[in-house]
Amino acid sequence: MKTNALDITLKEFIAIAAIPRPSHHEERIGAYLVEWAKKRGLAVEQDVIGDVIIDKPAASGHENAPRVIIQAHMDMVCVAAEGVAFDPLNDPIKVVNDGKTLWAQGTSLGADDGIGVALALYLLEDDTLVHGPLRVILTVNEEDGMSSIAMPEKYLDGAYLINLDWEWLGSLCNSAAGGDFLSFTRKAEWTDANAKDCALKIVLKGLQGGHSGVSINMGRANALVCIATALSRLIEAGVPVGIADFCGGQAKNAIPAQAEATIMIPAEKERQVRELLGTYEKDFVTAFGDIETGYTLTISSEKSSAKVLRQEIGRSLVALLNTLPNNINTMSPFVKTLTESSQNLGFLKIDEKTITLEAMERSCVAYRAEELLRASRLVAEAMGFTCVHEDHVPAWAVNPHSKLVPLACEVYAEVTGDKMVVEPVHGGLECGAFFEKNPHLDMIAIGPSLTDVHSPNEACDIESVRVTAELVIEILERLA
């Protein structure tokens, strides 16, 4: 491979990481990419939603080869470790290169999909590469709504598309689930707390969390559901619970790794409550102890709150979290280990006026998606909440006539000596949006090995970046 491919890719990634780019706030990274292309004399434009499209002419003698599109997304899921001060709109990601892996100090790394963007920039920059007409599409807001659904189809005029938003070297994705974003809301109505009541704060943190698609089948605990389960036990034991606050999670497409609730209870019930919560923790360990080894559950006395949610509303919130579909719904009967449908309750907040719970449903089968959406709507209505169906992510079906899939497998075997695994994924990929606009595109998704994406433990294996670059370079040359 080109000896400078890895160095240039890592250099570009470090530059990208310095630019804040949470979903819905890609203006600065978009402007950077446009200026980057102009400095190199490449044709570049932005569409109406901010996607950056860069064209590179074919290498000499390969002008008649089919156009290949390289695609990655520029936004990232910004989450910070407990206790880390981090402003995703203004603070850069502090990348650490220890020689083997890339990781970030106290936050998510953003290699999903910053490393894909960086690799695409390398392919544009290296004029010694052999390829046909090359187009790079760098999209906005993939993580929180899949805005590429609105991309004008003219930009998808090509024969092949290589998506670089994949997280396992040696694995090739040829199909992805669709998904739907849901929001459950109810008016927050408050009442005066009993002045004689005492306040307790229940905090569950240190869970693994992670991507709500690729990690949903790993048996990880959802912190919001766990706190709701604990509160249900108190209510079922006859304890009059007043909810002063309840929050947790950081994104609808990330499994909540932490949650907390502040409750008001009669002072004479405090001992009973602590005993009930102690029993709950023992049961939690039985269910999740081998998986959630880093958790902490604390119950602390707090300053009394002046207001609590009206009892009916507080109980309806707890019931909603206990009843809504969460985690795996069905497994595929055709592909072993593939989650067919699931839902993740990802983010909860309560302000003075509104209770808001956000969730994401995923499915590769339309029937199962309808099943989950209907159940969510009916449960919400029964609990007095409004369910709003927000953005939809299209599915990407398997192409049985793909030429790109066997070619990529052949090249990977030659480069590494290993066999590439071809597999669909339960996560959503932008290939679904592209498939809707150009069903003739022959597409694959590949990428270097990432771990714990959408979490502060996210890491990227450096050697896998080198191999991925070599793989893409050779695929482009053979397609030319």
Kindly list the catalytic residues: 75, 142
Angle at 371 between CA 368 and CA 373, to 5 degrees: 110
End-to-end CA distance of the chain: 17
Rounded to 10 degrees, the C-alpha dihedral 147/24/220/270 comes to -140
Provide the 10 A C-beta neighbour count for residue 41. Answer: 8
* Sequence-ordered strand ranges (E) for 259-326: 259-266, 296-302, 307-309
Residue count (the chain)? 480
Helices (H), 237-269: none
Do the Cβ atoms of 151 and 47 come closer than 8 Å? yes
DSSP letter at 365?
S
Amino acid, single-letter form, for residue 318: V
Location of structure tokens 């290939």: 431
DSSP 80: B
- DSSP element (H, E) containing 284: helix 270-288
CA quadruple 216, 459, 166, 410: dihedral sign: negative
Helix axis angle, 462-479 to 5-17, nearest 10°: 120
Q: Between the CA of residue 321 and those of 226, 244, 274, 307, 384, what are the distances in Å?
A: 9, 17, 22, 22, 13
CB 213 within 8 Å of CB 362: yes
Nearest to 430 by CA among 48, 182, 144: 144
Question: What are the CA-CA distances from residue 276 to residues 270, 281, 308, 369 (Å)?
Answer: 10, 9, 21, 37
From CA 229, how far away is CA 321, in angstroms rounded?
8
Q: Measure the CA–CA gap between 90 and 62, rounded to whole angstroms.
A: 43
**Does an H or E element contain 339, and which?**
strand 339-350
Query: What letter represents residue 475's amino acid?
Result: I
Which of these, 371, 374, 368, 347, lies nearest to 359 by C-alpha position? 347
C-alpha span between 286 and 297 (Å, rounded): 14
Q: What is the C-alpha to C-alpha distance for residues 249 and 82, in angstroms, rounded to an integer?
A: 11
CA 134 to chain CA centroid, Å, is 28
> Contact, 160 vs 69, CB < 8 A?
yes
